[in-house]
Structure 1
């Protein structure tokens, strides 16, 4: 039995029911479905995928191999009927994903996954000898009909036609809020070095007022959450990634206080840059 996590932007009730049922029929167990439904699903998926793989480390024993499926498809019209799918292994753990450079950017940077196996839906399905090839090739919901099959065939060591393909290097953007947790802590997609973090120093953080005005607040860097005075904003090395930075306020939602949402880059050095 393989623990299965599915990170997807197709996460309405109908989609979740179909995904759970199909994966259950293939693997004998239903997945944990994680909704990437915020304003920046690519950044959310990138950090969540990295965190899923990092969570398999330091178990104290060998543990079980896992499967992580990711479906975050750019709607840019660049690919016929959508972006292709790929797969790769991180140790014993399988990831099958849409070939999305931004989604794969953090595993490339932090886990050195520089190459994946790119697949063509028609080629793979035809090689498997399925009868309903055209249905799977043409469907709007390839993340239901194809991606679970791809993962199952790789797990079962069935021949899967694929092409080793480099993960594109994405442009180095400013540190971005990728995830806002249930406490309102803002998780960034970078570690301390990327922002010049030093305990005791302050860094300017841009926020939005309810009226939309951009304001800058000097926020102090602390070594951990409990060192941040209650009710005071702080920047700390957090629990995601490799000690990725978090903006926190003990007892208060930092996201609400600063007017932030996933996709924002409030650590730019001026309010003009942030507003742009």
Structure 2
């Protein structure tokens, strides 16, 4: 059996119950469901997907294959009934996802996932001769509002089972350059960004200006010192360090307190400038 992690913006209690039950019925085990919520769910999903795949490295052995599902699907009208779903392999690890360039940008950049396999729901369901789905069920699944419940788990199961699922190899689109952006705020209040320390001119002992909001809503700049790791930051002082996410991505921290609260930051905020804008 594959360990399954599901990152999704459909994460209320009702959605979690249905997702857990359907995936359990398909795979014989329920997934770990992670809410991609907050003001910038795509940013959270992109860094978390990268971290999930990187966590399968350096095991000291071959390890077991995993499945990661990702659903971030804005209904922007660009696609009939929403953006399509795709899949790709990272070594022996399967990812089935909405075809969302921003959610896939960090695995493209850091893990060289340049191409994914995009599927058409109705085409896949119509060709699935290995199932006992009736035509009315095919129509219901293809037309449903909750495609990440009815279709995405089927896609993952059929790819994992090596079924001949029709798909189109598609290059992951480039996304517009962003300034260093807060992608995840952890439970300690550390702000994980989407860039390497070198992108902002990180040098041990140097001070880097951090732009943030004050309690009265005005914008302020505070110089923050660069340190090699968290324990080198003086207690209750802010610091910039190479963090644990991505491939050593930058983190804004306060040792013993919440940097997010202190600087009034949330995912999607851009508190730093690249050193070569």
TM-score, normalised to structure 2's length?
A: 0.96
| C-alpha contact 2:75 2:81 (8 A) present in aligned 1 | no
Provide the C-alpha distance between the structure 2 equivalents of 1:263 and 1:74, rounded to a whole number of angstroms: 17
SS in structure 2 at match of 1:103: helix
Q: Which residue number corresponds to residue 81 of structure 2?
A: 81
Provide the C-alpha distance between the structure 1 equivalents of 2:216 and 2:80, rounded to a whole number of angstroms: 42
Question: Is 1:175 the equivalent of 2:172?
Answer: no
Provide the C-alpha distance between the structure 1 equivalents of 2:27 and 2:208, rounded to a whole number of angstroms: 48
Q: Which residue number corresponds to residue 47 of structure 1?
A: 47
What is the Cα deviation at residue 75 of structure 1?
A: 2.8
Provide the C-alpha distance between the structure 2 equivalents of 1:254 and 1:21, rounded to a whole number of angstroms: 38
Provide the C-alpha distance between the structure 2 equivalents of 1:171 and 1:223, rounded to a whole number of angstroms: 30
Give per-residue Cα distances to partners, 1:47-93, cap 9 Å, x unaligned: 00000000000001111000000000123211110000000000000
- Which runs of structure 2 are paired with 1:74-223 in the superposition (5 Å)? 74-129=74-129, 130-131=133-134, 132-223=137-228
Give per-residue Cα distances to partners, 1:189-226, cap 9 Å, x unaligned: 11112111111111100111121111100001100000
| C-alpha contact 1:74 1:100 (8 A) present in aligned 2 | no
What is the Cα deviation at residue 122 of structure 1?
A: 0.2
Q: Which residue number corresponds to residue 225 of structure 1?
A: 230
Q: Which residue number corresponds to residue 25 of structure 2?
A: 25
Paired residue total: 269
Question: Is 1:257 the equivalent of 2:267?
Answer: no
Provide the C-alpha distance between the structure 1 equivalents of 2:2 and 2:122, rounded to a whole number of angstroms: 26
| C-alpha contact 1:115 1:164 (8 A) present in aligned 2 | yes
Give per-residue Cα distances to partners, 1:213-243, cap 9 Å, x unaligned: 1110000110000000011110000000000
Gaps of 5+ in 2: none
Provide the C-alpha distance between the structure 2 equivalents of 1:112 and 1:97, rounded to a whole number of angstroms: 16
Q: Which residue number corresponds to residue 4 of structure 2?
A: 4
- Which runs of structure 2 are paired with 1:256-275 in the superposition (5 Å)? 256-268=261-273
Gaps of 5+ in 1: 270-276
TM-score, normalised to structure 1's length?
A: 0.96
Provide the C-alpha distance between the structure 1 equivalents of 2:16 and 2:215, rounded to a whole number of angstroms: 34
Q: Which stretch shifts more, 130-139 or 105-114?
A: 130-139
| C-alpha contact 1:204 1:216 (8 A) present in aligned 2 | yes
Q: Which stretch shifts more, 124-133 or 14-23?
A: 124-133
Q: Which residue number corresponds to residue 274 of structure 1?
A: none
Q: How big is the alpha-carbon RMSD for the aligned residues of Structure 1 and Structure 2?
A: 0.8
Q: Which aligned runs of 4 or more in structure 1 are off by greater than 4 angstroms? A: none
Question: Is 1:56 the equivalent of 2:61?
Answer: no
